[in-house]
Amino acid sequence: MARSSLTREEVLDTAAALLKRHGPQALTMRALAAELGTAVTSIYWHVGNRESLLDALVERTVREMGTLRPAGRTPAARLV
């Protein structure tokens, strides 16, 4: 049974989790759709093709990295 609603953020969250668990080779539109319990066409509707999906993940990651604040008293501690 297909899902009744799906958001772009849910698609990106699930894609990021698949990447983290299984690496980039495992991130296919079919695998993502199966993980979300939806049709592949729904994935394309929310994020476009695989290249667009990867671009969106990179953009989101870069945006999130911008919010990181270094902590630690020394440069070495801040790097960690």
- Indicate the domain borders of the chain: 8-65
Residue 42 has pLDDT above 80, yes or no: yes
| pLDDT surpasses 70 at 56 | yes
- What fold, for 8-65? Arc Repressor Mutant, subunit A (1.10.10)
Asked if 13 and 52 count as a contact pair (C-beta separation under 8 A), the reply is no
Sign of the alpha-carbon dihedral angle for 18, 21, 24, 27: negative
pLDDT of residue 80: 65
CB of 57 closer than 8 Å to CB of 19? yes
Sorting pLDDT into bands at 50, 70 and 90, what band is 4?
low
pTM of the model: 0.76
**Mean of all residue pLDDT scores within the chain:** 88
